[in-house]
Amino acid sequence: MHKTIISLICCLLPTFAFADTVKIHDNAPDSHIVVKGDTLWDISAKFFKDPWQWPQIWGLNKDTIKNPHWIYPGDVVHLDRTNGTLHIGKIKKVEETAEAGKSDSVKISPQVHVQGSEHNAIPSIPASAIEPFLSRPLIIEKDLLTNAPAIVGTYEKRVLLGSGDIAYANGLSKDHGVLWQIYRPGKTLLDPDNKEVLGYEAVYLGDAEVEKFANISTLKITKALKEINKGDRLIQASNEFAGSYIPRVPDSQIAARVISIYMGVSQAGQHSIVTLNKGLRDGLENGHVLALYRKGDVVKEKGETFILPDVRYGLLFVFRTFDKVAYALVMRTQLPVQLLDNALTP
C-alpha cells in the first residue's frame, strides 16, 4: 500500500556550492522533462560529466535519503548553474500582466512536490537489467544445492521437461509455500589472487508450482529457460524486487577484479552483469560505483621493456552484494569489459 507523500524538495538543497566538485557539461540543458524510461543516472549524465557523484548533484545527503523515489514522469529537472546542483520543479502556466495586455508564458519553478506511487518512480539504474539478479540466489554456499529438494521423477518418464510439464520432487515443505525455483550447480568462483573459494554459481533453469504436497510432491513447471531433468534442485522463490539505489563512492579503497561475466561470455558491454571478487566483508555495498581499469600493455623499445599505465575505461554500479562476491552493472564503458579487469574506487 502506497500513500501519497508530500515533500518539499527545495528544502533539501544545501546552501553551499558544489561547483568545485562536479563538472557540468558544456552543452548541458537548463532543464529536462522526465519521461517514462528515464533513469536517475541517465538524467544526471545529461547535465554532469560524473553522474555517480550523486549526493552533490542532487543536493542530497545519503544518510538522509535512503531510497530516492521522488522523481516521476512529467517532473522537470532544473539545473542550478550557480552551485552545480539539480532540483525538481513543475511546468505550470502563469499569467503575467504587461502594459500591453495579458500573455501566457511557461515558467519552471521549484514547488511543493506531490509524489505518486513508487511503481511510477524513475529508478536509479535500468531496473529490467538487474531484476532477475535480485529475485534469484545465483551465488550460493557450498552445500545449499546439495541439501535442497530435488526432482526425482517425471510424468510419463520424460527425459527433459519444459513449461507445462509435470515433475515429482522430494523434500518439499508446505511451510515454504507453493512457488519454487529450479537450479543446477554451476562453476566454482575462485579468487584470482589467492585461489580462495568465494562461492558457487547456480544456473537458474525455471520456475515450478506445487500442485500437491506429499512425501513425493507433484509439481508443474510454469517457466523453463533451459531444459529441466531429474536431479535438478529446488529453492524457495524469493520475494525480493528491484529497488532504487543511491550511487556513491565507497568510503574505503576497494580493489576488486572481474571474475565472471553473465552467460559465460569472455567480454561484456554496457548494461551487462559482471561478478566481482569482493563483497560485504570487504566493505562493498549496494550502490557503490567503481571505475574499470585495463592493465597497461607491455612494450619493448630499443631492447628495453616498458609497462604502460593502466587505462581507466568505464564505470560499474554494484547492485547486489554477497559476503565474498558482488554483482555489478556496467554503466559506462569505452572498451569491452574482460575477465580479470580491475574495478577500483574512483
Quickly list DSSP for 130-184: HHHHHSS--EE-TTTTTTS-EEEEEGGG-SSB-TT-EEEEES--GGG-SEEEEEE
Q: What cell does 26 get?
A: 558544456
**Integer Cα distance of 336 and 56 in angstroms:** 30
For 44, counting Cβ atoms within 10 Å of its Cβ (0-12 exposed, 13-18 middle, 19+ buried), the class is buried
CB 289 within 8 A of CB 246: no
Compute CA 21 distance to the chain's CA centroid, rounded to the nearest angstrom.
25
**Integer Cα distance of 346 and 292 in angstroms:** 9
Domain spans of the chain, in order of start: 6-127, 139-236, 255-344
CATH code for residues 255-344: 2.40.10.410
Instruction: Provide the pLDDT for residue 62.
Output: 52
Max distance between CA atoms of the chain, in angstroms, equals 88
Instruction: Provide the pLDDT for residue 18.
Output: 39
Backbone angles phi, psi at 130, to 5 degrees: -110, -15
pLDDT in single tens digits along all 346 residues of the chain = 333 333 333 333 333 333 446 789 889 998 999 998 888 888 888 998 888 777 677 776 555 444 555 678 888 888 888 888 888 875 544 443 344 444 444 444 444 344 444 567 788 888 888 887 887 878 887 788 888 999 999 988 888 999 999 999 999 988 889 999 999 998 899 999 999 999 998 989 999 999 999 999 999 999 999 899 999 999 988 765 545 577 888 989 999 999 999 877 788 999 999 999 999 999 999 989 999 999 888 888 888 888 889 999 999 999 999 999 999 999 989 999 999 999 999 9
Distances (CA, A) of 239 to 56, 132, 183: 33, 11, 17
| Rg of the chain, C-alpha, whole Å | 25
Backbone angles phi, psi at 311, to 5 degrees: -110, 120
**Integer Cα distance of 183 and 149 in angstroms:** 11
Q: What is the reported pTM? A: 0.75
Instruction: Provide the pLDDT for residue 206.
Output: 94
Instruction: Provide the pLDDT for residue 291.
Output: 96
Q: Which residues contact 340 (CB under 8 A, 6 or more apart)?
A: 192, 257, 258, 259
